[in-house]
Amino acid sequence: MGDAFAGKVVIVTGAASLIGVEIIRQLLDAGASIAACDTDANAHHLTDLGWGERLLVIPGDVADDAYLSRVVDSAASSFGGVDMLVTAAAIFADPGVLATQEDWQRILDVNVVSVARLINLCAPHMKQRGGGSVVIVSSISGYRSQPGRVLYPTTKAALLGLSRNSAQALAPDRIRVNTVLPGIMWTPMMAGMDQKVQDALAAQIPFPKRLGTPADVAQLVAFLATVEPNFMSGQDFKIDGYQWVT
C-alpha cells in the first residue's frame, strides 16, 4: 500500500484482537496514525508492541458512551482529526436461548450500539476533512445460523442494516460505510487441535483449501478504508474462501 494512509487518522476498536492487531500493523505500515481501543485487560498488549508515536492506545469499554467520546476527542486532538473508523470490538460468548436480558443488553451495547455511536461521533470530524470511511467488521454469522448460538449472529446481522442505512445517511458528507464478513478464521486456540480436525475445517473452504487469516481480513479492511474504492458504500464483503456464495 506504500504510503496510502500518510496523514490519515484511523480509530480502531477491538484493536488487541488478532484481526485488530493485523489491521493496525498494515495501516501503520501505510503511514496512518491510529487511536487503538480495547479493554483495560487487553490494551497493554498493544503498548508492548512498541509501534511508536503514531499509535495512541486508549484502554476502556466501548459500551461506555463517555469512553467513546474520549476516544474520538483524543484522536482528533492528538492527530488533528478523524478520517477513518474500523470497528472490530465484539463479545463472542453466547448462552443461546438461555440468555438473560442482561446478556442481551451487554452484547448489543458492545457489538452494535458502540458501532452506531462511534459513527455518530466520528461523522462530524470526517465531514470537516472532506469525507471519510467506516469499515465495520461483522461476520459470516450475520448471514448464517449457528447451532446453539443466538446472540452473536443476531448482533452481526444487525450490523448489516446499520451499515447500509448509515451509508445512505452519510453519503451527502462523502462518508462511505462498508462491512466485511470474515468466515472461518485461524486462531491460536486451533494450534492445540488434532491436525485431522484442522484439515477437516480447511476442507470446508472451496478455495484455497485453508483457513482464513487475520492478514486476509486486514487487507480487505485497508482497501475499503482508502479513498480508492470511492464508488463503494453500503456494501457487504464476505471474506470466506468462497465457502458461502449467495
* Catalytic residue chosen out of the listed positions 67, 143, 152, 242: 152
Prior bond of 208 cis (ω within 30°):
yes
Distance of alpha carbon 197 from alpha carbon 110, whole angstroms: 31
Instruction: Give the residues across from 181 on adjacent strands.
Output: 238
Give phi and psi for 179, each to the nearest 5: -125, 140
Tell me, yes or no, if 152 is annotated catalytic.
yes
Largest Cα–Cα distance in the chain? 53
Rounded distance between C-alpha atoms, residue 134 and residue 224, angstroms: 8
Exposed/middle/buried for residue 73 (C-beta within 10 Å: 0-12, 13-18, 19+): middle
Distance between CA 180 and CA 145 in Å, rounded? 17
Inter-CA distances, 148 with 153, 201, 238, Å:
11, 19, 23
- Positions marked catalytic: 152
